Amino acid sequence: MSQKFRLDSGGLINRQQSLNFSFNGQKLQGYVGDSLAAALLANGIHHVARSFKYHRPRGIYSAGEEEPNALLEIGQGSWRVPNSRATLVPLQEGLVARSQLGWPSLGFDLARCFDFSHRLWPAGFYNKTFKWPNWHLWEGMVRNLAGLGRAPEEADPDHYEKTNAFCDLLICGGGPAGLTAALVAGRSGLRVILADQDEQFGGSLLWDTAMLDEKPALHWVASVLAQLEAMPNVMLLPRTTVTASYDHQIATLLQRGHNNAWRECLWTVRCRSTLLATGAIEQSLVFPLNDRPGILLAGAVRHYANRYAVAVGQRVVIATNNDSAYQTAIDLFNHGVNVIAVIDQRKDVPAAMLQNMQDIAVRVCPNAQILSSRGGKRLRGLALQQGQKKFKLNCDALAVSGGWAARLHLLCHARGSLRFDTQRQAFLPERLAEGFFVTGSAAGDSTLVEVLARAETVSNGLCSELGKKALQVYQPKVSPSNLESPAVAVNTLQFSRQRQWLDLAHDATLGDAELAEREGYTAVEHFKRFTTIGMSVDQGKTGNINAFLALSAITGKAISEIGTTTFRPPYTPVTLGALAAGHTGEGYAPRRTLAAENTHKSLQACFEDYGGWQRPDYYPSDREDAHQAINREVLAVRTSVGVYDNSPLGKIEIHGLDAAEFLHRIYMNRVHGLAVGQCRYGLMLNEGGVIIDDGIVTRLAAEHFLINTTSGGASRILGRLEEWSQTEWPELQVLIDDVSAQWSNFTLAGPRSRELLQQLDSDIDFSAAALAHMQATHGMIEGLEARVNRISFSGELSFELNIPSSYANGFLQRLLESGAAMGITPYGIEALMTLRLEKGFMHVGSDTDGETIPDDVGWGKAAMNKAADYIGKRSLTRPASLESNRRQLVGLLAVHQDQVLRSGGHFLPGSSQRTPAETQGWITSAAFSPNLGRHIALGMLRDGRKRLGQIMQVYDAGNHYPVKIVPPCFLDPENQRLES
Amino acid sequence: MLRIPCPWCGLRDLTEFRFGGEAGVLRPLQPDQSSDEQWADYLYYRNNLNGPQLERWVHAYGCRQWFALRRDTHSHAWSDAVPASEKYP
Amino acid sequence: MKRYSAFSLAANALLGHRQWPAAWRKASPRESYDIVIIGAGGHGLATAYYLASKYKAGRIAVVDKGYLGGGNSGRNTQVCRSNYFYPQSVAFYEHSLKLYEQLGHKLNFNIMFSQRGVLELSHSLEEMEMNRRWANAMHMHGIDSEILDRGQLQQEVPNLNLQCRFPIRGGFIQRRGGISRHDAVVWAYARAASKHGVDIIESCEVNGLERSAESITAVNTSRGRIAAGTVVSCVAGHSSQLAAMAGLRLPVQSMALQAMVTEPVKPVINTVVASAAIHVYVSQSDRGEIVIGGGADAFSSFAQRGSLTTTVENAAATVELFPFLSRLRVLRQWAGICDIAPDASPIVGRTAVPNFYISTGWGTGGFKAIPAGGDTLAYSIAKSELHPLLQPYSLQRFNTGHLVDEAAAAGVAH
């Protein structure tokens, strides 16, 4: 077993349970409790990646989500997850990990040539070249070199969940600050959600060697957790990252599954207030060649040693500009790791730190900086300067600390503001968003004592703001007493011919920053976009402060003048699958099915989606293709009788004293004069005069109307009616009731439809005398309450039967039984469209568009003759509505009998046959008419009515053919059939 | 995601509502006497304020009632919500 | 201004890149200009460039309250296309596309214009018909568009999920459409305009317009008063605010349009794929990020942040079309402020105030229009007559009713 760098004891790992995994095919071992990064380091593996632009060898840099280098592909096939941070992947048995960049291999990467030629590729180089002959020639190469990991090729096999929660207080971060706050708030009775992104609660205490009440800190953590778990008003969410804060105190949390049926769950939490106990991220140090494998953040080095019992090297140097890294030296020493020296940028290192180092015999070099590093795939040594003296050190690991940046992203999402604290060289909260609180190192605390104290104070304040009394909680005593100061020295930038990285993930250097200044990209957003600093997958988490320092140094402006870039959601990347959870596949849009669906299925209907409804398109018998079925259905309706399910039809009842007046204002057509029992076809316009819907208006009683809308428009029209009634005409007394779902609607159409109806058990008189065309009646049919309209969209004698939806299946079957002898034929949408096309009845949305006004489709007279105002009327007298040369509804027949007509062809001007040409309009609906034995179509043609009888050319997808313009009615223009 | 205060149902998610534009857009009482400019003003021209604005909203997936809401279009913070049938403040 | 080329790049490499000059002059405001353009986004800078280079229109300044390109120009999803429906729109956007094709060379700045095709999907038979009408409309104008059936679509985009909730029947593609780098377009115009003498004045917020009885005499800014012969508003989402300073109201509503990108991956999506039915469009940037956009949030907003609802919808639609993208992670999400006109078409030209021009209403589709918007507006200002391509887009159309309702063609904002 070769975990050469695993320390003999300690760590939160389970040494009894070892795990097998592989990296780039190499078989390795680790323990339960390891992260993938820890296990790799335990095996002495630092070099796990190649950098984005220069393809330089890179190693693990951190121990958390701020990791800029160690992005690996985890898993294989459809399970593959690219760009996974090795620091966040919990080790599992059989885990397969691969590096991402590096061809032919990680160890030997041909693209390293970009490193050798790096002077040719400064920031923004692509804007200066690759223009000739055009970008396309180069783009393929650039695209193949760009990108990091590989997306899987198949669909995601994992399942994702979504859930919602409500609370009084959302605490982001379960370290010492968050736990204390949860205790205070939980005890006070507030509903609390405590979320932490790590596998377990504890935050920095998971790797801190501080003692609380003279016991290891995790004892305190366990006792607090036990108390919290016992509180029913507190919800604990480990493995859960708060990813974004939205308006009105809504936050999204991404929870990782742990032996769950789901991989990830996206929470939407609505809270009254939010407490950020999110901690701080250590910042890098900028010096020449600061990117080699073996260089890690000092806190991460402690983290690996204390939590995972992993030594990052055998000869470790520490470089810092603040006190916190000294603890790394102490902890490593206690683990028996050789600490060569502490390189401190500061001239005056605090006495307490010097004393600590003296106690463990570690050399300190104040006023020192690193001039460069050496080593290929692993750090081998450093060249340094202290004052005037230059010297070298051999080492295999370097722990760097450039200060700490508070994690305040969520505060920025919520529009709080930040200010730059020069003592801490960090951005701290300036103005809190409403309902936001910050505590812990996120608020600038640097010692555990401060963290615990402030957490209690802040949560006390929070409780009283939320109206609860805070009870005192016990504060544990911290030892050893930590004399660390929060002060961070300014990260001095030195001049060097060697590159100094500001952004490891995007391979952006100080030279790039200087170039940005030279070319004028000094506004912070320009700087960011030109250099791409901060725009990679880590969003600059470890390098943000240094980038600002660089910009400040280069431009001579103070950081407060420069401002900050906006932190955008999400804090850490969120899986698309989790965002989409529940909304894909069938969850994307509900399928609405007809009440009589089972009967339609038994009739072998071919279903199609129309406006969200699954509706029969046609009913093919065994030997038929679609065309044959449709033709048969059309002919059946014209010669005998057919039945059509129109249940999705919008049906809205209007009751009230002012019902007639209301509808009179809504519709273009007159409503006042409509007699009880009469139906009228109506057009609805919007205020622009454009036709938005059409349908039948039926007067059931003096103050009771039933209107039909297109099935696609039902809810939209209902919304409009309610809007006008509530906001514009509240004085009109009307009740609007949507009954679309209550009634199923079956149309019986054909010359024998009346005959069929008269066979049914009914008290309704269906004779021509009693029920004329465009009349309505009601009664009982087959024991069911029924409303009957004698209206026709097919052009045949036709009756619309409305019966209660729950009886739809039975009723349809009854109709089919009754009509069997006369060959009753169920017909679908295709047949209906052909039938109505033969009659020239327009279909709103196909034959009309966003510009069509009543006159365009032959309703001009009715529109103008109505004296009373109605919605849209005024727009019909605007110049555009009145001009000649508008597109008008016409019919068309192909000049050549066998020509197929298709919707979408455009009319060419004159007798020209070529494009480009000015379009004269287009074919809007077309179908094969079995009654005429040829294709027919409707179209919208400029000045169509003046062009009746003319021959015009139609252009369609590279072809053209001649058509004759005819009136839009191909069958029974006298309407004898439907008025019989 | 926003949460909108319906005067009848209380604070609900944005997904339950539909935005109805600025409040206070007055339809001419006699449209046939409006000039083309006046009609265009009613149909199309808006204040489009950056800041507190009085707006119309409808609780489409709830009580289906219209109301007026004063909401800041920059910060999305809202104040009063008034049923449509009362005079707008 | 130093020319950009592979040679100059190599030569400068030897000199440690210390000789590159600033891309544009950071000018200080002078007391007066012939033309003051408010808004240093793509449209404002392009207008300035054409005014200066093509028409030598005198002393020109472009002022911006922040850094140039900080508004929608820096926030869009970079799609360039001319696949519109109405002849007026096709003509206009095709003019823009043609300018884009030459822009990198003309401005000596690689804008990385990649004509990898813009594909519109049809999810139903009705949509197939509508899209056929649309594709033919483009042919009528002499513009490329190719109708694809299911089989051809599968070949074009093999990893597209034809069996999504609304099964895909086919589509049509404009091969000359594609993606360009948004910052590069803005910086290219800024550099070129500056070279031609235009003063670009950043961090200069306009807080009032001084008027005489008939016209605007000066622009009051946070950096002083600037007298102006002509004032041009190119401020997108803030158009109503600026117009109000001139005593005008506009028929636009400002709404948030959001977009998001995933972490970068190796190339998997080679065209821009758009679906009106599922309200999303997806492409892959040259850096490898999958870029996702959808429709605008349906309420007034100047917040530059989209709502979670739309994010979820866009994510769901993306996973529907490309199920293999599900395991990728969203890295960044942002929004702009779109000034949307009632017919979703732009409003460009003169206003009731004789020397005050506006360029607004670009809504969710302003980026593709930058070259033509600048070119035609510059012509109109220089010649005091509206460019023929802009005739359909005047403010007057709202009085006469001649709306250009591209709502259907704009479909999903891009």
AA letter at A357: M
Q: Which residues of C touch A957 (CB under 8 A)?
A: 132, 135-136, 139, 147
**Looking at domain A14-126, which CATH architecture does it have?**
Roll (3.10)
Interstrand relation of C253-262 and A404-406 (parallel, antiparallel or unpaired) = unpaired
Task: For tokens 């959600």, name the residue.
Answer: A193
3-class SS at A885?
Answer: coil
pLDDT at B87: 55
The pLDDT tens digits of the residues spanning C281-310 come to 999 999 999 999 998 999 999 999 888 999
Q: Which residues of B touch C342 (CB under 8 A)?
A: 43-44
Min Cα distance C312 → chain B (Å) is: 10
3-class SS at A329?
Answer: helix
Q: Which two tokens stand for residue A21?
A: 């995994």
Nearest to A589 among C165, C263, C312 (CB): C165
Residue B8 structural domain: 3-27+37-83
Interstrand relation of C329-340 and A81-85 (parallel, antiparallel or unpaired) = unpaired
CB atoms within 10 A of CB A972: 16
Instruction: Return the HEC string of C148-209.
Output: EEHHHHHHHCCCCCCCCCCCCCEEEEECCCEECCHHHHHHHHHHHHHHCCCEEECCCCEEEE
Q: Which residues of B touch A570 (CB under 8 A)?
A: none
Q: Which two tokens stand for residue A348?
A: 């005056």
Min Cα distance C339 → chain B (Å) is: 9
Q: How far is Cα A666 from Cα A697, in angstroms, rounded to an integer?
A: 11
**Looking at domain A160-281+406-479, which CATH architecture does it have?**
3-Layer(bba) Sandwich (3.50)
pLDDT at B89: 38
List residues bridging with C290 in a β-sheet. C284
Min Cα distance A574 → chain C (Å) is: 5
Q: How far is Cα B52 from Cα B77, in angstroms, rounded to an integer?
A: 8
Contact between B15 and C309 using a beta-carbon 8 Å cutoff: yes
Q: At what angle do helices C42-53 and C182-195 cross, to 10 degrees?
A: 30
Q: How far is Cα C28 from Cα C26, in angstroms, rounded to an integer?
A: 7
Q: Does B74 touch chain C (CB under 8 A)?
A: yes
CA angle C169, C171, C177 (to 5 degrees): 160
The pLDDT tens digits of the residues spanning A308-351 come to 999 999 999 999 999 999 999 999 999 999 999 999 999 999 99
Contact between A250 and B1 using a beta-carbon 8 Å cutoff: yes
Burial of A897 (0-12, 13-18, 19+ CB in 10 A): exposed
Q: Does domain A650-738 have CATH number 2.40.30.20?
A: no
pLDDT-derived band at C24, boundaries 50, 70, 90: very high
Q: Does A579 touch chain C (CB under 8 A)?
A: yes
The pLDDT tens digits of the residues spanning C315-359 come to 999 999 999 999 999 999 999 999 999 999 999 999 999 999 999
Nearest to A719 among B27, B30, B60 (CB): B60
pLDDT at C410: 42
pLDDT at C279: 87
Among residues A644, A640, A643, A633, which one has the least CA distance to residue A930? A633
**Which CATH number do you get for residue B23?**
3.30.2270.10
AA letter at A950: Q
Q: How far is Cα A308 from Cα A14, in angstroms, rounded to an integer?
A: 10
Q: Where are the domains of chain A?
A: 14-126, 160-281+406-479, 285-401, 490-582, 592-648+742-836, 650-738, 883-972
Interstrand relation of A397-401 and A26-32 (parallel, antiparallel or unpaired) = unpaired
**Contact (Cβ atoms closer than 8 angstroms) between residue A395 and residue A292:** no
Question: Which of 2.60.40.790, 1.10.10.1100, 3.90.79.10, 1.10.443.10 is the CATH number of A490-582?
Answer: 1.10.10.1100
**What is the side-by-side order of every strand in the sheet holding C272-275?**
A574-575, C329-340, C253-262, C290-293, C280-284, C272-275, C118-122, C170-174, C146-149
Q: Which residues of B touch A728 (CB under 8 A)?
A: 27
pLDDT at A485: 86
Q: Please enumerate in sequence order all residues whose Cβ is within 8 A of that of C52, keeping only pairs 6 or more positions apart, or say none.
A: C60, C193, C196, C197, C198
Task: For tokens 């760098």, name the residue.
Answer: A5
pLDDT at A973: 87
Q: How far is Cα A577 from Cα A614, in angstroms, rounded to an integer?
A: 27
Query: Which residues in chain A come in under a pLDDT of 50?
Result: none
**Is residue B32 situated within a structural domain?**
no
AA letter at A593: T
**Is residue B65 situated within a structural domain?**
yes
According to CATH, the superfamily of the domain at A592-648+742-836 is: Probable tRNA modification gtpase trme; domain 1 (3.30.1360.120)
3-class SS at A682?
Answer: strand
Contact between A904 and C403 using a beta-carbon 8 Å cutoff: no
Nearest to B2 among C302, C307, C401 (CB): C307
Q: Which residues of C touch B1 (CB under 8 A)?
A: 307-309
Is the pLDDT at B67 greater than 60, yes or no? yes
Q: Please enumerate in sequence order all residues whose Cβ is within 8 A of that of A113, keeping only pairs 6 or more positions apart, or say none.
A: none
Q: Which two tokens stand for residue A398?
A: 């370097």
**What is the side-by-side order of every strand in the sheet holding A211-212?**
A215-216, A211-212, A478-479
Min Cα distance B8 → chain C (Å) is: 21
pLDDT at C414: 40
Rg (CA), chain C: 21
Among residues C251, C243, C240, C253, which one has the least CA distance to residue C395? C251
What is the average pLDDT across C43-63? 97
**Is residue B64 situated within a structural domain?**
yes
pLDDT at C5: 85
Helix locations, C269-335, DSSP H: 308-321
Q: What is the CATH number of domain A883-972?
A: 2.40.30.110
Q: Which two tokens stand for residue A201?
A: 């609660």
**Contact (Cβ atoms closer than 8 angstroms) between residue C348 and residue C47:** no
Residue C390 carries which DSSP code? G
pLDDT-derived band at B88, boundaries 50, 70, 90: low
Interstrand relation of A613-618 and A592-593 (parallel, antiparallel or unpaired) = parallel
Per the structure, the count of domains in chain B is 1
Q: How far is Cα C92 from Cα C96, in angstroms, rounded to an integer?
A: 7
Q: Which residues of A touch C334 (CB under 8 A)?
A: 568
Q: Which two tokens stand for residue A969?
A: 């009615």
**Contact (Cβ atoms closer than 8 angstroms) between residue C296 and residue C413:** yes
ipTM over 0.95? The verdict is: yes
Nearest to C250 among B36, B45, B73 (CB): B45
Is the pLDDT at C4 greater than 90, yes or no? no
pLDDT at A345: 95
**Looking at domain A285-401, which CATH architecture does it have?**
3-Layer(bba) Sandwich (3.50)
Contact between C110 and A127 using a beta-carbon 8 Å cutoff: yes
What is the average pLDDT across C53-80? 96
The answer to whether the A285-401 and A490-582 domains have the same CATH topology is: no
Helix locations, A641-774, DSSP H: 659-666, 714-723, 753-759
DSSP structure string for C322-370: -GGGGGSEEEEEEEEEEEE-TTS--EEEE-SSTTEEEEE--TT--GGGH
Burial of C373 (0-12, 13-18, 19+ CB in 10 A): buried
Q: Which two tokens stand for residue A812?
A: 């349809």
Q: Which two tokens stand for residue C47?
A: 């207008």
| CA A574 and chain centroid, separation | 10
Among residues C211, A514, A697, A248, which one has the least CA distance to residue C219? C211
